[in-house]
Chains A and B, each alone.
Chain A
Amino acid sequence: MGIGIVLSDLIFPLFEFISPLVPGEIFPYFFNGKTPSLQRALLSSLIVTSIAGFLGTFLLVRNLAMIGDGLSHVSFGGIVIGIVLGASSPLWYALMASIIASASIYELQSREILTGDAAIAIFMTGMLALGLVILKVSGRAMTTEIESYLFGSQLLIDPASLDLITYISLISLVSLFFIRYGLLAITIDPLSAKVQGLPVKGIGLMFSIITASVVVSMVKIVGALLVTALLVTPAATAQLIGRSFKSCLIWSQIFGFLSVIIGLYISAEYGAGAGSSIALVAATIFVMIAITTEILNNFSTIDN
């Protein structure tokens, strides 16, 4: 029995309990248990959003906002290599490729050889190109399987995928929780952290591995194009109103969950794509909060 089933058994009754309160015609099916695949879609979206919010807050500080987009293209290269080599589970190849790229990006950045975005751009284009070249040379076409890794198939989460997502998210969440102060210290001021005796390299590597794992597991759900939305937008919105690091972490969770719930509602009721609806809601929340805080700030300066 996988961990996904254990978690489902715990959470699904809760979904079903609140399902009478859920508005809409189709949206309640995400909750009421008549379509287990939709329940799985909701659960996996919430799990991924939660870890993305925490991770995104750290990524923003390190100027790695685009790493979600970058690593998802890297993992595309990995997937293609895996498929051409005849691997039964190409996801492992994607994971390896992403971890190597993520650690390299971290190294390039902390040695001040390249900025974060330049390093991301190199790996993103390089691995995407490698994947495309291998596809052509091996005479394969872009199958739906390969495509699903790039664009996601959020509403088609089978129990095995839920297992994988749950494992990776849970391990990442726990690791991130334990290294949070060390990670914040090495991010804010690496030299001071080193003088204090913190294992700067070790923490950095661990953060790279967590980032890569989370991105790879997310790509299958929200798709490469929308990974960035969940990683960055809720965390960025949180920075608009958070006054401390801790409050930013909490706000990023709130905005992330809001985006998923409203996004899935729109997608269900109006037949829009789930991933794009969530990303759109996240961006809309950001714009609304940005405008509101700007107006409020202006008022308070006038008062003074």
Chain B
Amino acid sequence: MTLGLAKGNSLESPILEIDNLSVIRSGKLILKNINMTVNKGEFIGIVGPNGSGKSTLLLTILGVLKAQEGSIRIYDSKPMSRDLYGKIGWVAQAASNLPRNVRITIKELVYLGTVNAKNMFSFSNKNRRERVKDAIKMVDIKDIENFDVNRVSGGQRQRAVIARALATEAEFILLDEPLVGMDNESRNSLLKLLDSFCHENGKTIIMVSHDLSAIRQTAHRMVFLEETIKFDGMADKFPDLESLANLRGIAHVHEGEHAN
């Protein structure tokens, strides 16, 4: 569990620094006083109840939502700044985010990850095709690369979207609820895959999920978010249901309903 830190990456400057962040969305305070530092190679799972601000946090890190107070620095730049293009990979809930009325193969989708402001007018080249090939290989969907994205299973589609993020050559990958709608087997193999990205490829991952038990077994570090950060620490130190209820200030009779 301490592998990410044991590599000695603490000497490098952190990948993400969130300082006293507050975010207001449609007039409502969603995030308050968030402080968080992420180092290279970490696999962080963010959990919390519905509407606790998990997605808001991701969207603020991406720069889609603006901070009301506080600051975010990614690779020592502001969110959405030019220096970050290609460094961050975004994996949305694939099932809900791809338009249904388009025929596009997995390979074509992954290829879109190699398009950026600089090369969008130029022709495809070997380097970009290699990146597509590698990304597809990494998530192990080579055998279905010519299938229509809308005609594969939810788990396969999720892998395709992750491959698209990998093809951008992103070092820092943010995933929003990637486990939704997956069966147990594909969920476990996806988590294993993400884990190997951190250990073998030096990627840094932040993943938001509802699935507490699944993410707890894989992530190195867990963050429990409910407007503020209620817990931030190594995954094996993550509180059990009763302490969690205490953390959140609710009586433990409710634990069963809330703590997923």
Interface residues of A (CB under 8 A from B): 60-63, 178-179, 181-182, 184-185, 187-189, 191-199, 239, 242-248
Chain B residues positioned under 8 Å from A179 (CB to CB): 120-121
Asked if residues A189 and B97 are in contact (CB atoms below 8 Å), the reply is yes
Q: Does B86 contact A (CB under 8 A)?
A: yes
Nearest A residue (CB) for B165: A192
Nearest A residue (CB) for B151: A243
Asked if residues B117 and A199 are in contact (CB atoms below 8 Å), the reply is yes
Instruction: Tell me the complex Cα distance, A278–B216, Å.
Output: 61
Total contacts A to B, CB within 8 angstroms?
A: 95
Asked if residues A195 and B101 are in contact (CB atoms below 8 Å), the reply is no
Q: A179-B121, A195-B62 are in contact. List 15 more A-B contacts (CB 8 A).
A: A60-B101, A61-B99, A63-B99, A179-B120, A182-B115, A188-B102, A188-B112, A193-B115, A194-B80, A195-B80, A195-B88, A196-B85, A198-B116, A198-B117, A243-B103
Chain A residues positioned under 8 Å from B98 (CB to CB): 188-189
Asked if residues A239 and B116 are in contact (CB atoms below 8 Å), the reply is no
| CB 8 Å contact bits of B102-118 with A (1 = contact, 0 = none) | 11110111011101110
Which of B64, B90, B108, B165 is A245 in contact with, Cβ under 8 Å?
Answer: B108
Asked if residues B108 and A192 are in contact (CB atoms below 8 Å), the reply is no
Instruction: Tell me the complex Cα distance, A206–B121, Å.
Output: 14
Asked if residues A60 and B102 are in contact (CB atoms below 8 Å), the reply is yes
Chain A residues positioned under 8 Å from B102 (CB to CB): 60-61, 187-188, 239, 245
Interface of B is mostly: loop
Interface residues of B (CB under 8 A from A): 62, 64, 80, 82, 84-86, 88-90, 92, 97-99, 101-105, 107-109, 111-113, 115-117, 120-121, 146, 148, 164-165, 168
Nearest A residue (CB) for B113: A196
Instruction: Tell me the complex Cα distance, A199–B104, Å.
Output: 22
Instruction: Tell me the complex Cα distance, A155–B50, Å.
Output: 62
Asked if residues B109 and A192 are in contact (CB atoms below 8 Å), the reply is no
Chain A residues positioned under 8 Å from B109 (CB to CB): 188
Instruction: Tell me the complex Cα distance, A198–B168, Å.
Output: 12
B80, B120, B168, most chain A CB atoms within 10 A: B120
Q: How far is the CB of B54 from chain A (nearest CB, A)?
A: 16
Chain A residues positioned under 8 Å from B90 (CB to CB): 191-192, 195
